[in-house]
Amino acid sequence: MKPRSLIAAATATVLVATGLAVTGGTAVAHGSGYSALIQRASYGVPHITARDFASLGYGVGYAQAEDNVCLIAESVVTVGAQRSRFFGADTDNVASDLFHQKAIDDRAAERWLVGRRDGLRAPSNEVRDQMRGFAAGYNAYLRTGKVNDPACAGRPWLRPITELDLWRTQWTAMVRAGSAALADGIVAAAPPRADGTSAPVSAPQAAAVVAARDGAPAGVGSNAYGLGRAATTSGAGMLLANPHFPWDGADRFYRMRLKVPGRYDVEGAALIGDPLIEIGHNGKVAWSHTVSTARRFVWHRLTLVPGDPTSYRYDGRTRKMTARTVTVRTPDGPVSRTLYDTHLGPVVVVPGRFDWTTDTAYAITDVNATNNRALDGWLAMGRARSVGELRSVLDRRQFLPWVNVIAADRHGRALYADHSVVPRVTDALAAACIPASFQSLYATSGQAVLDGSRSSCELGRDRDAAVPGILGPANLPTLVRDDYVTNSNDSYWLANPARPLVGYPRIIGDERTARSLRTRLGVHQVRQRLAGTDGLPGRGFTAGRLWDVTLGNRAYGGELVRDDLVRLCEAQPTATASDGTTVELTAACVALRRWDLRVDLGSRGSHLFTEFARAGGLRFADPFDPAAPLTTPNRLAVDDPRVRTALADAVQLLGGIPLDARLGDIQTEPRGAERIPIHGGWPEAGVFNMIINQVQPGVGYPKVRHGTSYLMAVELGRDGPSGRQLLTYSQSANPNSQWYADQTRLYSAKGWDTIKFTQKQLRADPNLVTYRVGERRR
């Protein structure tokens, strides 16, 4: 398929500059100014080249602002603790503002910048240059007066940004799976009243974190394959990147290619507002990330001083909590809250689980709160020339906040590693310092509640760790293979089932436990492709076959149980729903029998199975067997009445929507007045190509919430990288942009854009537009 775009086939040179001399049609910066070449390829993807990192950041900031200025601006409002002021003083906005104002008062971002600029103790000059350049490029775009996105054009919160604004967004991104996830519990924390009773509080987000099976941030996930020489037809390494992120808001990805000649050259994607590629490839190595199961924080149970609930005992001595009044602006006037800190971290309340009583309170240590290493880490990843070098980057820098790495190189080696930032809770520390009443919580979820009264129960330091308080590389799971590695958000255990990873601290993840249906399907797809038993021609992977497998849209749960479910349905064509209503199932039986077991646009009845699975109907009669983790459990529990109840609930929920409707007719994504059909489905049904949305009774699924976002299938051949890539929701969130819907239509058709890493590949693009941006640095 040839790349298509809404823009006319043309190549042009445009000068967008302030204070630049123009010589022979080329913009040249005076002195120490900024100058970047932007080559916009099909679908608006910028290829940005600059002589130094400051100018590279300038080009990135300018290009991202052209496409998504409102998303960046809103992120700056958030980290500036101004959501209530501009977007309304609802509970969530007030809690967000109080949390971020506390970080501002604490100078959290500023403290990141203090220290030796080696990328470990403090950000390097290269990264600082990029951040400074990004802010300058963003602001230069604002000065053009071309903002036409109705989300922010003319709004008072659209303003120039500073480097500090960007560092604050980075800090928030790092703590997403830690203190930010517990923000409402931090804001709600208050000592008991004088009579000993607790003030009524609510912290639903923190409660969800405590209830979660693992430490993954809410609303994100991913699939990834790293394929080695034994898995590809060419013998070169190959990578699938398939992150599952929100389709709206600041957590969207942005495709770009960035180059400082001789120093950095990477193609891929980054989250909007970030100046560096986070998922992508250079000429020799490709990598992706999946969300790790590891926990990013630990609890400390504090023993309080009798009669003084804001003081605690520590090594036999009394320590006073730090109380700080935080104030934020709202349309209704200022809101103030007193928040509490300990030397171990902020006090957090989760009602019913971690309460603040007269005897006990709980504080957390978030090990990412001091993780100022990430941008330098991604910069170093982009310079790696092999899987071995990439592993050395991970070992030395230990910067990944809450993700795994899956990678491959041109030599045909594949890597899996959960070298993320994980609190140093070894087996020995867990045994000695987690009270008996919390041992089961640790065993089931990896949440460590340590005795906060003893210094011996602090996190300490591994000898090989980059910084204190985190597990060193020797305590983290790593696997290098010639065949394949894979991850779909379960733990490290079965990155390759031929070599299970075992013996790691529980805080990282679980072992010898049931895998999700998505994980199981992900491994089956690789094995079947290598054996040639998946219905596609040949054996082994090419980039095209990898694309076809990823978008094959199999519903593995249906493959396992659909036939048994239909027999049960036909034998008992009525069932009682959860609300006691008797539901007729005849039409459901017919729809399920005719379903093609996929979630393609033309699949009929797939939505019925999805809602059946989401209602808890996928109950199995056989137990999980750790000796057969990819095939158990697999038999529907037909005698369990909850199976029929779930089917009745699904039919009832879908009232007004034909049970045999084509998925593409009811699952769509709006782009203006257009409704683009969307394939893919929920992981509860065992779908690899994950698309998450909510049913609207009588309508269907009118809006994607999150799921498959950036897709890349890249082969690292001798002639350079090649393959396919796509951004499902398109490059721009601006409805007035020509790049608002084009890739979304492409995804709907299972199409792709090509990798354009070499100049030959880029120049072959018929839609190439070239321009320079820059200014004299003030």
Return the H-helix or E-strand segment holding 517. Answer: helix 517-531
| CA 245 vs CA 291, 350, 406, 595, 727: distances in Å | 10, 27, 17, 28, 11
Q: Is 603 a catalytic residue?
A: no
- 222 touches 289 (CB < 8 A): yes
What is the tally of helices (H) and strands (E) in the chain?
21, 33
Best CA proximity match to 366, nearest among 477, 469, 453, 233: 469
What does the angle CA 593 – CA 599 – CA 602 come to, to the nearest 5 degrees? 80
- 224 touches 289 (CB < 8 A): yes
Best CA proximity match to 423, nearest among 363, 366, 370, 352: 366
Place of tokens 């009118």: 702
Contacts of 437 (CB under 8 A, 6+ apart): none
- DSSP per position, 448-496: -EEETT-GGGS----TT-SSTTB--GGGS-EEEESSEEEESSS-GGGSS
The alpha carbon torsion through 395, 398, 401, 404 (nearest 10 deg) reads 0
**Spatial distance between the Cα atoms of 737 and 68, rounded to a whole number of angstroms:** 10
Place of tokens 């200014």: 775
Instruction: Copy the structure tokens of residue 708.
Output: 């498959």
- 86 touches 73 (CB < 8 A): no
- 397 touches 466 (CB < 8 A): yes
- Tell me the residue ranges of DSSP E strands in 382-436: 403-409, 414-417
**Spatial distance between the Cα atoms of 768 and 258, rounded to a whole number of angstroms:** 16
Place of tokens 């089961």: 440
**Spatial distance between the Cα atoms of 646 and 95, rounded to a whole number of angstroms:** 36
Instruction: Copy the structure tokens of residue 415.
Output: 């890597």
Helix boundaries (H) for 398-498: 427-433, 439-445
What number of residues does the chain have?
A: 778
Collapsing DSSP to helix, strand or coil, 393 comes out as helix
Instruction: Copy the structure tokens of residue 382.
Output: 């982009």
Cis bond before residue 633 (omega within 30° of 0) = yes
**Spatial distance between the Cα atoms of 575 and 597, rounded to a whole number of angstroms:** 23
**Spatial distance between the Cα atoms of 337 and 328, rounded to a whole number of angstroms:** 9
- 368 touches 175 (CB < 8 A): yes
| Residue 618: Cβ within 10 Å count | 23
For the chain, report the end-to-end CA distance as a whole number of angstroms: 47
Catalytic residue among 42, 222, 709, 748: 222
| Residue 207: Cβ within 10 Å count | 18
Region label for 751, one of left (φ > 0), alpha (ψ between -120 and 50) or beta (otherwise): beta
The residues that are catalytic are 222
